[in-house]
Structure 1
Amino acid sequence: MTTFVIGDVGHVPDPVAMAEYRAKVLATLELYGGGFAIRGGAIDVLEGDWRPTHLSVMRFPSADHARRWYDSPEYRAIVPLRAGVRMDLVILDG
């Protein structure tokens, strides 16, 4: 079953390090069968109070693929680049 990881990036204290993280993250996703379905873009809130800042939706073939990516040494190696960044990240089956 297709699984999605949805992330919303808020406050970024170090834009240079975050730019490096963003440049490297796609390669880590691809190693585990993942990729971006949505990466940034305009957001138009139709209802409610949720105001995402920078929304990304990543698609994986399964929840196992998504969890292996999240726990992978490749991804863990770039996570320090986003130190101090406010990020919400959820996984859900499609």
Structure 2
Amino acid sequence: MKAYLVLDLSVTDFAGFKRYIAEIPAFIAKHSGQYIVRGVQPTTIEGDWAPERLVIIEFPERDNAEAFLSDPEIQDLFKVRHATTTSRLLLADGCT
């Protein structure tokens, strides 16, 4: 079953965030992920959720997404995201 990472983020230090932008696609590909939505400014239709930027990454299986999240080689890059953005990250399973 496919799995999706949904990232809601506001960039607070774009110069510092550039490293993340440049390097994260290789790690997504390493774990068989692909962008579905990449850093767009979404339009809120209902409710009060108003992300500044939205990213959705699709993985073929939940195991791929979990391996991506726990990959030791990517942890420093996640620290870059944490230091340069305010973000929320969700992992959701797709429909069968």
TM-score using structure 1 length: 0.90
**Structure 2: how far apart are the matches of 1:85 and 1:79?**
10
Question: What residue ranges of structure 2 are gaps of 5+ in the alignment?
Answer: none
Question: What residue ranges of structure 1 are gaps of 5+ in the alignment?
Answer: none
Match of 2:51 in 1: 52
Segments of 4+ moved more than 3 angstroms? none
TM-score using structure 2 length: 0.88
Q: In the comparison of the two structures, how many residue pairs are matched? A: 93
Matched, 1:74 2:57: no
Q: CA RMSD in A?
A: 1.3
**Structure 2: how far apart are the matches of 1:63 and 1:31?**
14
1 or 2, which has the higher strand percentage? 2
**Structure 2: how far apart are the matches of 1:73 and 1:89?**
18
Give the % identical residues.
Answer: 28
Cα distance, 1:11 vs structure 2: 4.4
